[in-house]
Amino acid sequence: MNWINIHTDTLRSEAYLGAEPVERATWLNLMGWCCSQENSGIIVGAADWPDRKWQQLCGITKEEATLVSELYRLGTNGDLTVSLYPIDKQEEVLIKRLTAKINGKKGGRPPKETQAKPTSVILDNPEEPTLQTVKRREGKEKGIERKEKEKEIPTNPQGEVLPHGGDFTESWKRWQRHRKEIKKPLQPTMIESQLKKLSKMSESDAVAMIEHTIEKGWQGMVDPKETNQSQPIKKQPTASSYKL
């Protein structure tokens, strides 16, 4: 931790107020060392430290570190425990650092503030978008939805809503060009009537009828099935039909 988080109640505690000034100063130096090491207020193997090491690391003497005090104590196992250590703040810092690491950020420092560009919106909390962002998002969604609906309904440059897509669209364009070539352009009422008739047919049958009519050079649409049925069936001559 880069900061010593000492609650004001700690400085009003019985252990702190009842300690001598040298104990308070020693405790504060020990607290600073433990916070920098994030060791939960326990210096392992402190009994074996020489005086010089105490002075270099903690800024106190070995004699001061081994004083009998309620603010810190040297245990029988050789470890020194610092009382009133802010263990909750240490856990909070560790959790923030771990979260930042998972999110791909180095250390536990807060990210630098990013200056938003005029055309962009940067949110402090993505889960709470601004009203402007919500409106922009809804506009995009409506635009996408409108485009998808337009794709579902086939149309041609003249704006007619066609009953089928795919090959039918191309055949219908060819039919319009054919009518213009024979000097009989389609009129709105005729277009409505023909599309209504074609909508009752499957796409393949509708395409077949348009192509058949264009091939024959006719002005009106005729179903090729009806054409074949209307043609007279040629009978094979029999022996009785020849005159002797």
Q: Which two tokens stand for residue 193?
A: 């009537």
- CB proximity list for 209: less than 8 A, separation 6 or greater: 198, 201, 221, 222, 223, 224
Based on the number of CB atoms within 10 Å of its own CB, is 34 exposed (0-12), middle (13-18) or buried (19 or more)? buried
pLDDT in tens, 73-126: 988 899 999 999 998 889 888 998 888 888 875 555 555 555 554 444 444 454
Q: Which of 129, 38, 126, 50 shows the shortest CA–CA distance to 90?
A: 38
pLDDT in tens, 146-157: 666 555 445 554
Query: What percent of the chain has a predicted confidence (pLDDT) above 70?
Result: 73
- For the chain, helix (H) and strand (E) counts, in that order, are 10, 3
- The arithmetic mean of pLDDT across residues 34-57, rounded, is 92
Q: Per-residue confidence at 163, pLDDT binned at 50, 70, 90?
A: confident
pLDDT at position 199 over 50: yes
Q: Are 116 and 122 in contact (CB under 8 A)?
A: yes
Q: Write down the pTM of the prediction.
A: 0.42
- Provide the strand spans (E) within the chain: 42-43, 72-74, 80-82
Q: Are 172 and 213 in contact (CB under 8 A)?
A: no
Q: Per-residue confidence at 43, pLDDT binned at 50, 70, 90?
A: very high
Q: Which of 225, 155, 164, 159 shows the shortest CA–CA distance to 197?
A: 164
Q: Which pLDDT score, from 0 to 100, does residue 139 have?
A: 74
Q: Which pLDDT score, from 0 to 100, does residue 124 have?
A: 47
Q: Per-residue confidence at 41, pLDDT binned at 50, 70, 90?
A: confident
